Amino acid sequence: MSALNLVAIVTLLGGAAWMIPALVQQRFRDPMRLHLFMALFLMGLGNVLSQPRILMWLDGVTLPGFTKITYNVAVLTGLCLMVAFLRECPLTGWRAPWPWEVVACAICLTAMTAMTVALPSPLRNHVLTSRYLVDWRVRTFYNFGNFYLLFGYAACAVLAARHARKGRSLHRLSLSVISVGLAALALSCVFRFLWVNLPTLREPGRRVTYADAFGFGQIATIVVCAGLSLPAFVSVVQMVRERLDHQSQFCGLEELWNRLVEIHPELVLDHRSRRPGFLLANAPAVYRRYVECRDGLTRLSPYLQLVAEEGPAPVADDDPRTSACLVDRALCRFLEQNGRDDGPPTASVFVLAPKLRCGAGGTDYEEDLGALVRLSLELREMRNRRVAEPAATP
């Protein structure tokens, strides 16, 4: 199996697998997604069955030529479904594909099956060489297959280019790349048709051979696969970036969270997610830790009010270091009194970005979360400085 074939197979079957969760959620009632899933799956399966080792093994347990006609059925049926998918946009209910592509596919597959049955067993696993193409039944087999591949690829290229004129920029780019690749595949079918029917092209010494056309078709297939993979690749990149952001926010709150949980262990809402990994550090985990920190600061509010009133200067508006110092002093005051319930009777304090204020007030979640992360990071810096100071003292 060549590297180009492997890329095509992985892309087609990977694209089909990517759609399975959404299909399961919709209970396979989404016609457009189902058409696309079946198209990708069948074309991927056809490419798998066309591999020489698999073809020889399946023919050994069935009949000569059985695997060749089977993978052609899979590829042509998948292409028919792809044409139907591109024609129906949007599709809210199941509708039969347009008659011409179904009738043309059925006629071509029937003729290819008849030619396979008519061929003797040694010729059924034919390839595009003069040894086999001298037989009119082999030429007929390829002509019918090329006929549907040519019109199927061309129709898909035109429809994809038409859809590329509208929609989001990513979808327009993806469909444009797919259209270019399909147009190139249609051109490769034209060359294959000439190769089959013009013996002069197969004469030795020609500069352009079928191997060149086959490589051109493989590159065109990779272009189509790249267009198909582009939305999934962008989605994966966005998902990874979001996970990294959530991981950074989750870890950023760790210092503040640890110090608050130390004095109020009951703050923890879910003990199973104290240190979630990359896959578990999602938006709900960050929000849960944010709520726990908020609850802890609210419980600490009497001491925050007390140390704020004891401060020699007013709190600076844009100085998270001052807020961290207040929280640190309030935690120390709490520990000095052993967390007794008879702490200083004062109003609750709600920590707002970017400083500590008295009273309650609303603010944007992302802004407030960012302020708490900066507060927590500043507390970590303070702790690191305290650890480093005794070590630096002779």
pLDDT in tens, 149-167: 999 999 889 988 888 888 7
Q: What are phi and psi of 357, to 5 degrees?
A: -130, 155
From the DSSP assignment, how many helices (H) and strands (E) are in the chain?
14, 2
pLDDT in tens, 330-361: 888 888 876 455 555 444 444 444 444 433 44
Strand (E) or helix (H) holding 229:
helix 210-252
Average pLDDT over residues 11-39: 80
Distance (Å) of CA 329 to CA 78, 259, 369, 382: 69, 12, 22, 12
pLDDT in tens, 253-293: 899 999 888 888 888 876 655 555 545 668 888 889 999 89
Three-state DSSP state, 357: strand
Local structure of residue 30 (DSSP, 8 states) = -
> Predicted confidence band at 110 (pLDDT cuts at 50, 70, 90)?
very high
Which pLDDT does position 348 carry in this prediction? 46
Local structure of residue 314 (DSSP, 8 states) = P
- Indicate if the pLDDT at residue 385 is higher than 90: no
Residue 119 CB contacts under 8 Å (≥ 6 apart), including other chains: 65, 126, 135, 137, 138, 141
Residue 137 CB contacts under 8 Å (≥ 6 apart), including other chains: 115, 118, 119, 123
Q: Which two tokens stand for residue 189?
A: 């079918």
Tell me which range, 17-21, 135-139, 206-210, 364-368, is most confidently predicted by mean pLDDT: 135-139
Give pTM, 2 decimals: 0.68
